[in-house]
Structure 1
């Protein structure tokens, strides 16, 4: 059972449990209301209402497991689990895989695979995405298993406290071996377009980069995102004249024999566990298609 436990300090003696949950545990009003309705809040093993007056040294427990359903069919699709605990699961998404069902892709998604995994491992969870990736971008994605973890990590994401590192292969050689791209990204108001552009009307977007290895006419580049705009790395690198290999939207038509999608991999995540606040540094190996591209470029 996934729970939060806390002993009442003298500071909260004589105060309502609602205040304790908000001030001491930092829980949202929405989470508190949901847990209260489901009778998942206990003091010394007895379910209590929100007007309950606390006494010092009482033991407060919130059961985070909530009976929920989600309109996503479980599908037996292999997933690469990098890290898992009672609150979160971090998976290394394959390239060419949609994260969540859409009108166009109603099955075969990462969410379908996760629903199957949760069912088979007897976990009462729904898919709460903390981060997302484009269909053709591979790498690490955080999924929360309960409302509390999702709330905490979404807050950290908004504050840019989750460090997201990518590896990519670009055409040409970057002018500097490391630097920062600080250019606003804008979505043109054209019907049906998903393409973004550099435009002063856009949101401020910041990408830090470092060249890891140089090849004859290409670079292997690490990117650290300070902001998380749609297509940010792809737009920023293309704007400098260094589009990503395989990126047909912002670059060139490539030989599909070399790579059939943009060579972009979310290889690293650094963040704190929502419950223990322990620092997690998670890494995913470069996928086979990008490794083959690197070998091809080394041999040119």
Structure 2
């Protein structure tokens, strides 16, 4: 793909200010537009412009996708990555369990971000890690990362569109009364300094769609689709209706005798590509530990 976006001004767009055109026609954020123009990455008919330059019918607007050298204060580390898809704008990785997505004070190394920075460096790419989606340390599955500021802006903008979908599979205790439905409960961060979230009317609106895929004796395999993206949303919502995820010691009441982490996997991702708007679909199968748990359930507890 080219490192430039090209727009041709139509007659009904004549005389718009450039900032109006970039916001309403190109669908750029105000922040991205300001920075792109300030850095000289936007030209009209090969001429430098300001945000207040008037566009004319027939004008050719070129926007250079930023690829200058950038730095993150994070140490690149050679880590085996399962790359599902990659182009010049995005990369999608299948994250294993026991891996934090981004460094923290307690975990400065061994994260997905450390590994991606090394991966980019080895390929002589100038990208830094711009996370579009995140997963808990012990949740496995697809993570979406933008490779430039334009794609990050576009994906963040499109997250609320119906075409942008994140689907998960979870193995839960008990059998849900309804085979399909919606959990619509506000999620609130506890004030005691812990990472735990609770259902509380003071919290943010949170919506999870669920559908039972397969049932066993006192267990279900459930497909979940997020309409909102709150921290621990699926884990909190399932626990709140009396069906905590196997292995979830934070939101369940169990010792990890079935699986060593919460049995939750981000198996599917659908996105409009940030540059072309083409709808892309990605899937990755269940990891071994969840398949092993399902095998045990199928052998001993099939309904």
Task: Give me the TM-score of the superposition, normalised by structure 1.
Answer: 0.91
Corresponding position: 1:274 with 2:271: no
> SS state of the match for residue 266, structure 2?
strand
- Cα shift readout 1:239-264 (whole Å, capped 9, x = no counterpart): 222111100001133345x4111000
Matches within 5 A, 1:43-122: 43-50=44-51, 52-67=53-68, 68-122=70-124
Alignment partners' CA distance in 2, 1:18 and 1:273? 23
Could you say which residue in structure 1 is the equivalent of 2:209? 208
Cα RMSD over matched residues? 2.1
Question: Partners in 2 of 1:70 and 1:281 — Cα distance?
Answer: 30
Distance 1:168 1:268 in 2: 13
Deviation of the 1:46 alpha carbon:
4.6
Taking the aligned partners of 1:295 and 1:170, their CA distance within structure 2 comes to 14
- How far apart are residue 72 of structure 1 and its match? 1.6
User: 1:38-77, CA deviations, whole angstroms, 9 ceiling, x for partnerless residues?
Assistant: 2222334454444545444332211112422111221111
| CA–CA separation in structure 2 for the residues paired with 1:227 and 1:34 | 29
Identify which of 149, 153, 157 aligns with 2:155. Answer: 153
Report the counterpart of residue 285 of structure 1 in structure 2: 285
Give the distance between the partners of 2:37 and 2:201, measured in 1 at CA: 47
Task: Tell me the TM-score normalised to structure 2 length.
Answer: 0.90
| Alpha-carbon distance in 1 for matches of 2:25, 2:189 | 41
CA contact (8 A) 1:169 1:264 kept: yes
Give, in whole Å, the separation in 1 of the partners of 2:227 and 2:24. 29
Structure 2 match to 1:217? 218
Determine helix, strand or coil for the equivalent of 1:143: strand
2:164 maps to which residue? 162
How far apart are residue 176 of structure 1 and its match?
2.0
Kept in 2: contact 1:245–1:254 (CA 8 A)? no
Q: What do residues 140-190 of structure 1 show as CA deviations (whole Å, max 9, x unaligned)?
A: 111111222211211222456521111000112112222222222222211
How many Å apart are 1:14 and its aligned residue? 4.9
Whether the 8 Å CA contact 1:246–1:252 is kept in 2: the answer is no
Specify the alignment match of 2:30 in structure 1.
29
| Aligned with residue 138 of structure 1, among 137, 140, 147 | 140
Structure 2 residues without counterparts, runs of 5 or longer: none
Partner SS for 1:238: helix
- Tell whether the 8 Å contact from 2:166 to 2:268 is kept in structure 1 after alignment: yes
**Aligned residue-pair number:** 298
Q: Which runs of 5+ in 1 are unaligned?
A: none
Residue number in structure 2 paired with 1:229? 230
